[in-house]
Structure 1
Amino acid sequence: MALDKEYWNIPKPSEDFLTTQGTNLTVFVDHADNALVWGLGASDVTAIAGVFIAAIALFGSLQQGHKAKKHNQLSIQPHLIISSSLQDDGKLLTFWLENCGLGPAVINDYSLKINDVLVADKSRYIGSNVQDTITTEILKLIARKTNSQSLKDKVLMNSQSAEVKTFVSSEVIPVGVSYKVIELKLDTRITNDAFDWVVGNCIQSVNYSDFYGKSFTISQA
Structure 2
Amino acid sequence: MSQTIEYVIYGVQAEKDWKDWVTLALTAMPAFIALWFTWSQNNATKKHNRLSVTPHLDSMTHTTLLENSYIYKYSITNNGVGPAILVEAKITIDGVEIDTDETLPDAVRKLLAGIRDDQFSHQSVAIGSFISPGTTIEIVSITCASKEILEQVKNKARLRAHIFLRYKSIYGEEKTFDSMHN
TM range (shorter): 0.7 to 0.9
The separation in 1 between residues aligned to 2:82 and 2:97, in whole angstroms, is 30
Q: Name the aligned partner's letter for residue 40 of structure 2.
A: Q
% identical equivalent positions: 19
Q: How many pairs were matched up?
A: 163
The separation in 2 between residues aligned to 1:157 and 1:78, in whole angstroms, is 34
TM-score normalised to structure 2 length: 0.74
**Residue 158 of structure 1 contacts residue 187 of structure 1 at CA under 8 Å; is this kept in 2?**
no
1:58 partnered with 2:31 = no
- With over 3 angstroms needed to count, the CA separation of the structure-2 counterparts of 1:164 and 1:102, relative to structure 1, is same
The structure that has the greater radius of gyration is 1
Query: What residue number does 2:169 align with?
Result: 210
- With over 3 angstroms needed to count, the CA separation of the structure-2 counterparts of 1:134 and 1:187, relative to structure 1, is farther
**Residue 144 of structure 2 contacts residue 150 of structure 2 at CA under 8 Å; is this kept in 1?**
no
- With over 3 angstroms needed to count, the CA separation of the structure-2 counterparts of 1:167 and 1:93, relative to structure 1, is same
Indicate which of 106, 110, 133 corresponds to 1:133: 106
Q: Return 5+ residue gaps in structure 1 as ranges.
A: 1-32, 36-40, 141-155
Query: What residue number does 1:200 align with?
Result: 159
Query: What residue number does 2:48 align with?
Result: 71
Q: Return 5+ residue gaps in structure 2 as ranges.
A: 1-14
Indicate which of 166, 178, 189 corresponds to 2:136: 178
Q: CA deviation at 1:98?
A: 0.4
1:168 partnered with 2:126 = yes
- With over 3 angstroms needed to count, the CA separation of the structure-2 counterparts of 1:132 and 1:79, relative to structure 1, is closer
**Residue 105 of structure 1 contacts residue 172 of structure 1 at CA under 8 Å; is this kept in 2?**
yes
Correspondence 1:1-221 to 2 at 5 A:
35=17, 41-88=18-65, 91-119=70-98, 124=100, 129-140=102-113, 156=114, 158=116, 160=118, 162-186=120-144, 189=147, 190-192=149-151, 194-221=153-180
Q: Secondary structure at the match of 1:212?
A: coil
The root-mean-square deviation of aligned C-alpha atoms, in Å, is 2.6
More contact order relative to length (CA 8 Å, sep ≥ 6): 2
Q: CA deviation at 1:66?
A: 0.9
Q: Name the aligned partner's letter for residue 136 of structure 1.
A: R
**Residue 90 of structure 2 contacts residue 98 of structure 2 at CA under 8 Å; is this kept in 1?**
yes
Query: What residue number does 1:145 align with?
Result: none
Q: Which stretch shows the higher mean deviation, 53-62 or 85-94?
A: 85-94
The separation in 2 between residues aligned to 1:61 and 1:139, in whole angstroms, is 60
Runs of 4+ in 1 over 4 A off after TM superposition: none
